[in-house]
Amino acid sequence: MREKGRDLNGCVYLVGAGPGDPGLLTVKAVRLLESADVVVYDRLISPEIIRLIPDATTRVFVGKKSGRHLVSQENINTLLVRLAATNHKVVRLKGGDPFLFGRGSEEARYLVRFGVPFEVVPGITSASACASYAGIPLTHRGIARGVQFIAGHCDADAPLDLDWCSLANAEMTLAVYMGLANVDEIASQLIKAGRSEKTPVAVIENGTTGSQRQFLTSLGELPKTVHRAELQSPVMFVIGQVASLAEELKGGQSICVEPPPEAQQLRV
């Protein structure tokens, strides 16, 4: 439904920024950042990526943190519609991929409702990038036949309501987003559902950035590892036998992987 009385002739681009390393941005994402009239961005967008936005471009911060929402999702939705009415090109910049735990589809549905043209520009999701930078394949022949993406928290900090039995398959890798606050419940419920407490787990903080930290532990020791390390979000848990490959593959990567390029080198 088109909002009465408005001429909505702008376009909103729902752009995935990846998990932090500016070198993981797509060429299309960089081009849109450089040509946008306004950029609406989240808390987890790295400073290196923010520096790609021209100084003359309007920037609107709408970051959220667990328990602290400076701008509600409803207000972000209406903001995008309002900006589209007065700006030719609006970039909604999201960490990771807009359609994977990024609420991009909620925003897209709202834009459709008000007749605002939009385009989705995929980004590298955190699970894939963080695991790769840590030397962990999410799938591996003979070890992991598939991967499940899990949100480790619920809206309004409600208790987790997951089908724990479906997550107990030892042949599946679990990539847990936003699970820091519920790490004790995640570990205990998975063990209760049948996952071995000896299952390897990789804990990755600030993945793909210069401040990345990673720890290899077991499912039974996961809560102790997290609390001892005093981790801060964003943190990714990779649960499964593939995590045991981290030391071997990460060591090989250090031979040939170049450091992330400076933001200025990414301009196209």
Q: Is 163 noted as a catalytic residue in this protein? A: no
Calculate Rg over the CA atoms of the chain: 20
- CA 13/CA 11 separation, integer angstroms: 7
Instruction: Residue 241: name the closest of 172, 149, 151 by CA.
Output: 172
User: Which one from 28, 64, 89, 224 is the annotated catalytic residue?
Assistant: 64
User: Which one from 21, 42, 97, 250 is the annotated catalytic residue?
Assistant: 42
Number of helices (H), then strands (E), belonging to the chain: the values are: 8, 12
What is residue 257's DSSP assignment?
A: P
Asked whether the beta carbons of 36 and 224 are under 8 A apart, the reply is no
Sign of CA dihedral 18, 218, 226, 214: negative
Q: Is 161 noted as a catalytic residue in this protein? A: no
C-alpha distances in angstroms, 204 versus 38, 91, 124, 132, 158? 32, 28, 16, 11, 24
Active site residues: 42, 64
